[in-house]
Amino acid sequence: MENDVQLVACTVDNEEYAIDIRSVQEIIRLLDITRVPHASPYISGVINLRGMVIPVMNLRKRFGLPDQKPDETARIIIINCNGSMVGILVDSVSEVIRIPRQNIEHTPSCSSNVNTEFFSGIGKLGSRLLIMLNLDNIFEIRTDHQGF
Amino acid sequence: MDMTQYLNMFLEESREHLQKLNEALLDLEGSPDNKSVLDEIFRSAHTLKGMSATMGFSQIAELTHDMENVLHKLRNEEIKTTPGILDLLFKCVDALDSMVSDIASGGSGSLSIDDLLAELKTGNPGSFPATPDSGSAVGTTGEENSEDGDESVIITTIEFNEYEKNLIKQAIDQGFQCYHLVVNIDPRCIMKSARAFMVFKNMEEIGEIIKSIPPVQDIEEEKFENSFDLVVVSREPTEVIRKGLVTITEVTEPEIKLITGVFKPLNELPVDKKEVPATGDPVKPTVDAKAEESHPVQHQTISRAKINQTVRVDAARLDNLMNLVGELVINKTRLEQIGRSLQVPELAETMEQMDRITSDLQNVVMKVRMVPIENVFSRFPRMVRDLARDLGKEIDLIIEGKETELDRTVIDEIGDPLVHLLRNSIDHGIEEPAVRVNAGKKERGTVILAARHEGNNVVIEVQDDGRGLDIERIKIKAIEKGLVLPEEAEEIDEHSILRLILMPGLSTAEKVTDLSGRGVGLDAVKNKIESLSGSLHIESAPGTGTKFKIQLPLTLAIIQALLVLIEREIYAIPLSFIAETTSVLPQQINRIQEQEVILIRGDVLPLVRLNEVLQVPPSGIPREEEINIVVVRKGEKRIGLIVDTLIGQQEIVIKPLGKILGGIPVIAGATILGNGQVSLIIDVASLF
């Protein structure tokens, strides 16, 4: 048990990804998102989570994947990122799974069409392959706001 | 015992005492013969010593101890209050300050203080015994005294000197009870001094400690067995005193005796309680001298007992409370909306009540968060003194309205801008004494720092009676730096020229000191104040001085705002920036070199289309024919913001956008509307 890792599995553009459950605050259905002008294109906007204003990042855009209007299955995963909350918009959240630590490979040699700096490894569960997300790198946005 | 839980209390109280020391030393500098100031300094130093010794910060204790010795000599007039001595004491306070800061940042409070200690010792000739040789002379002579017979013997084994007798007499006369407590501490207790410290603290909350045996110093240094004696005067009954003691862990059942007719032996105590012989002190001279020495302790404990009924609260909890009230305000607005659409009279009535209670609650919470500006001002007298000395100037700092209250959020931010302005006044404003005399002014310059409320704003002024701003020099500099064209410079009015010194890169100082003159100061000040939704005005007259006037809102957490609709998006514009709203027909808009403008009462008003600035996607909603314009101002400037619809005025709670969205231009923050939707607040200052 000690050696198991609990992961939240989610999908983006038919690819399965996983996030360490310890950084997940909660998972919510899609809320009204308020657009923020001049924000980075990866940021969809901000939501009201019980009185807190939380930015939401669209993972599809972050990964450079084709944009798609969120449907019924879309979810926002609220991540506690060093004390501040950030939501990430995914196509769907499938389940919480537990896999042994040794089943995680830390050399990302996957053949995904997405920039590998966003990944921290691959989790194997039977025949399923889950791409582990590197949240720190995903949230690292160079702030080159265009002035005007 | 784990001392970390006391660390925060220690740090806070230390800082308070350091502040007091600074202030009192400044007072002493002004009036070297003032004994009461000296007493105050002594008390603060002594308390610091006690606290730090209890907490195990031996260097602070050592330094304060040596300071005390010097202070003692000053008080006994063995040495004179010279500038040298004062400087030395100031240096000590600085060293103490660094040590406390070190502790605050997790260090051990160690600092090389050998030099200071040596100086204190040399400035302190004639060896004063490091510690009074225990309290034996005072504390344990009771039995001998009882043999002595009637006069000074009292119920207990305690002996009082004249001073103490007087105190007790006065206390009893005023209806206080005087108790003799024998405090017993569990022999297994590891840190007896910490327990004793808590005993002192508790007793000072309910009364005044007028004597302790052995003396406080010894108790702090744990030079006692398992019990010590206290004499306490209080209005509280015995039971309260007992509770104050037994609630401390490891303090066992105390002995409490009432002291009535103080200086008569028990058996001679008749009904007359107040008969107190004023003279005829039988105490032997040697003992008396000893008692004299413990005076500082008494002074200290007595004055400390005047405790305000206050509670220290963690600032984070206040923020939390404020957030909750913010939530309440948001939900109240939401309820009001529902109420209006349902049109139920009972609901409307209840909503009115709710509205009243919520706004009362909001006012109360705001008041709780209010902090007197004294918290910021208090560090300036010392700073001004040091600066003036360094620059060879003579300056009086006059502080007015330090009790003016401001929201904590503003207090935290306003310190640095004020430091800048004060430095400016001292460095550039006030002339050298010789120059002043030549100009027919007083040799000493005056800097006035004043705060006051004006409506919903707080005004802070920094005024000096120095040389004033040199309009011509500013012009020349501005032209040099390319801020204005030479031909423009001739035309602009004086006021606009003054405002030029707020531009980045402009400094009129002829010599650059390490204080100011590098041209980074005033524009930083201006930006900071504007980021606090405030404004900065300058008035100056050559030869008579300069005045900087800062205007700030009382709070930054809840503001009044105008909600506007742009396509489908709702934005909030802080009311404090809004001059007026108006509407024009499209054909009234003119163009001057690509800039859209309208004429409003004869003045040209540049226009900004918010939908373009905010990159709002077109919604295809047909526009009204009239164009709504919100006229906003910053300082003297005005611009018109074009919006689609004015929704109305509303109280909004400002929420930060979060780290990942930090530094977004045009947006100052977010708020949550009655319907739960997030709306963005426009950073009006950035549009100019």
Per residue in B536-563, pLDDT (tens digit) is 888 888 888 889 999 887 766 678 899 9
Substitution target from A25, A36, A137 for chain B, most B beta carbons within 10 A? A36
Q: Is the pLDDT of residue B122 over 80?
A: no
Judge: B327–A51 Cβ closer than 8 Å, yes or no.
Answer: yes
Give the model's pLDDT for residue B580.
Answer: 92
**Over 80: is that where the pLDDT of B347 sits?**
yes
Domain residue spans of chain A? 4-139
B514 and B381 belong to one structural domain = yes
Q: Any CB–CB contact under 8 A between A46 and chain B?
A: yes
* pLDDT at residue A33 in the model: 92
Domain that holds residue B140: 136-304
- Of B304, B327, B347, which residue sits at a domain end? B304
Q: Do the Cβ atoms of A53 and B656 come within 8 Å?
A: yes
Higher pLDDT residue, B224 or B321? B321
Q: What is the pLDDT of residues B160-194, one digit of tens each?
A: 777 777 777 777 777 778 888 888 888 777 777 77
Query: Which of A34, A44, A52 should we substitute to test contact with B (largest number of B Cβ atoms within 10 Å)?
Result: A34
> Which residue does chain B place closest to A57, by CA atoms?
B660
Decide if B660 and A52 are in contact by the 8 Å CB cutoff. Answer: no
Residue B83 in any domain: the answer is yes
Top pLDDT among B224 and A65 is at: A65
Query: Stretch B474-490: mean pLDDT, rounded?
Result: 77
Is the pLDDT at B1 greater than 70? The verdict is no
Nearest Cβ partner for B663 among A52, A81, A145: A145
Reported confidence tier of residue B498, pLDDT bands at 50, 70, 90? confident
Note whether B478 and B396 are same-domain residues: yes
**Touching check for A138 and chain B: CB below 8 Å?**
no
Residues of B in contact with A35 (CB under 8 A): 569
CA distance A123 to A114: 17
Q: How far is CA B64 from the centre of its chain?
A: 24
Q: Where are the alpha helices (DSSP H) in B140-228?
A: 142-148, 162-173, 192-206, 216-220
B537: CATH: 3.30.565.10
Whether B68 is a known active-site residue: answer yes
Q: Which residue has the tokens 């790198």?
A: A137
Interface test mutation site (partner A, options B321, B611, B613, B678, max chain A beta carbons within 10 A): B678
Contacts of A55 in chain B (CB under 8 A): 657-658, 660-661
Partners of A80 on chain B (C-beta within 8 Å) are none
A147 touches chain B (CB under 8 A): yes
Note whether B390 and B355 are same-domain residues.
Answer: no
CB contact under 8 A, B661 and A32: no
- CB crowding B123-162: b at 16 or more within 10 Å, else e: bbeeebeeebebbebbbebbeebeebeebbbbbbbbbbbe
Question: Residue A34 and residue B569: Cβ atoms within 8 Å?
Answer: yes
Q: Which of B290, B308, B35 is nearest to B164 (CA)?
A: B290
CA B15 to chain A, closest CA, distance in angstroms equals 30
CATH number for position B8: 1.20.120.160
Q: Which candidate in B17, B46, B72, B180 is catalytic?
A: B46
- B571 within domain boundaries: yes
pLDDT at B200 over 80: yes
Query: Phi/psi of residue B80, each to 5°?
Result: -95, 155
Share of chain B above pLDDT 70, in %: 83
Cα distance from A145 to chain B (closest Cα, Å)? Answer: 7
Residue of A nearest to B610 (CA): A37
In a domain, B212, yes or no: yes
Cβ under 8 Å to B: A residues 21-40: 32, 34-39
Candidate from B326, B658, B672 with C-beta closest to A48: B672
What's the number of domains chain B is made of? Answer: 5
B634 with B671, same domain: the answer is yes
- pLDDT reading at B235 higher than 90: no
Q: What does the pLDDT average to over B295-314?
A: 53
- Chain B contact probe: residue of A46, A49, A81, A82 with most B CBs at under 10 A: A46
Which whole number is the average pLDDT over B333-350?
84
pLDDT for B132 beyond 50 = no
DSSP string over A69-112: ---TT-EEEEEEETTEEEEEEESEEEEEEEEEGGGEE-S-----
* A9 — pLDDT class (breaks 50, 70, 90): very high
Give the pLDDT mean for B416-421: 87
Percent share of chain A, pLDDT over 70: 87
The catalytically annotated residue of B40, B68, B119, B405 is: B68
- Tell which A residues from 75 to 104 touch B, by Cβ distance under 8 Å: 81, 84-86
Tell me, yes or no, whether B359 and B443 share the same domain: no
Res B640: pLDDT:
94
Contact A76, A28 (CB under 8 A): yes
For all residues of chain B together, what is the average pLDDT?
Answer: 77
pLDDT of residue B517: 43
Q: Which of B115-124, B288-297, B412-421, B568-577 has the lowest mean pLDDT?
A: B288-297
B596 and B654 co-located in one domain:
yes
The pLDDT score that the predictor gives to residue B505 is: 64
Q: Is B210 helix (H, G, I), strand (E, B) or coil?
A: strand
* Per-residue pLDDT at B5: 65
Decide if pLDDT at B365 tops 50.
yes
The residue in chain A having the minimum alpha-carbon distance to the alpha carbon of residue B614 is: A37
pLDDT above 60 for B140: no
**Which residue has better confidence, B36 or B277?**
B36
CA distance A142 to chain B (A): 10
Checking if the pLDDT of B387 tops 80, the result is yes
* Inter-chain residue contact B667 with A36, CB threshold 8 Å: yes
pLDDT above 60: residue B245: yes
In a domain, B131, yes or no: no
Homologous superfamily assigned to A4-139: CheA-289, Domain 4 (2.40.50.180)
Assess if residue B310 is contained within a domain. no
Tens-digit pLDDT profile for residues A47-102: 988 778 899 999 999 888 888 888 889 999 999 887 788 999 999 998 899 988 88
pLDDT at B503 over 80: no
Query: Is B659 in Cβ contact with A84 (below 8 Å)?
Result: yes
Of residues B8 and B585, which shows the higher confidence score? B585
Chain B closest CA to A33's CA: distance in Å? 8
Residue B391 domain-assigned (yes or no): yes
Contacts of B309 (CB under 8 A, 6+ apart): none
Establish if B127 belongs to a structural domain. no
Interchain CB distance below 8 Å, A53 and B670: yes
- Residue A64 burial class via C-beta count within 10 angstroms: exposed 0-12, middle 13-18, buried 19 and up: exposed
Render pLDDT for B92-120 as a digit per residue (tens, 0 to 9).
888 888 888 888 887 777 777 777 788 77
Chains A, B: CB contacts within 8 A come to 80
- Residue B4's pLDDT is 66
- Work out the average pLDDT over B452-459: 79
Residue with tokens 């045996």, as numbered in its chain: B213
From chain A, the residues in CB contact with B569 under 8 A are 34-35
The model's pTM is: 0.50
Residue contact B616–A85, C-beta within 8 A: no
How close, in Å, is residue A73 to chain B by CA atoms? 22
Q: How far apart are CA B555 and CA B357, in angstroms?
A: 20
Is residue B474 scored above 70 in pLDDT? yes
- Out of B664, B672, B680, the one facing A145 most closely (by C-beta) is B664
Place of tokens 């104050």: B244
| pLDDT confidence bin for B29, thresholds 50/70/90 | confident
Of B575, B571, B562, B558, give the one whose Cα is nearest residue B652: B558
Q: What is the pLDDT of residue B328?
A: 84
Tell me what pLDDT residue B136 has.
37
Q: Which amino acid is at A17?
A: Y
Q: Tell whether B363 and B293 lie within a shared domain.
A: no
* B327 and B298 in a common domain: no
Q: Which of B553, B586, B618 is where one domain is finished?
A: B553
Measuring CA to CA, which residue among B624, B610, B529 is closest to residue B572? B610
pLDDT of B197 above 90: no
Tens-place pLDDT, residues A95-120: 899 988 888 887 655 555 556 778 88
* Site from A28, A44, A48 to mutate, B interface, most B CB atoms within 10 angstroms: A48
- In B, which residues are within 8 Å of A53 by CB distance? 655-658, 670, 672, 678
Chain A: give the shortest CA distance to residue B23, in Å. 40
The whole-angstrom separation of Cα B68 and Cα B50 is 12
Express each pLDDT in B561-619 by its tens digit: 999 999 889 999 998 889 999 999 988 999 888 899 999 888 899 999 999 999 998 88
For residues B545 and B564, membership in a common domain is answered with no
Does residue B128 sit within a domain?
no
Instruction: Tell me: do B383 and B477 sit in the same domain.
Output: yes
Contact B294, B138 (CB under 8 A): yes
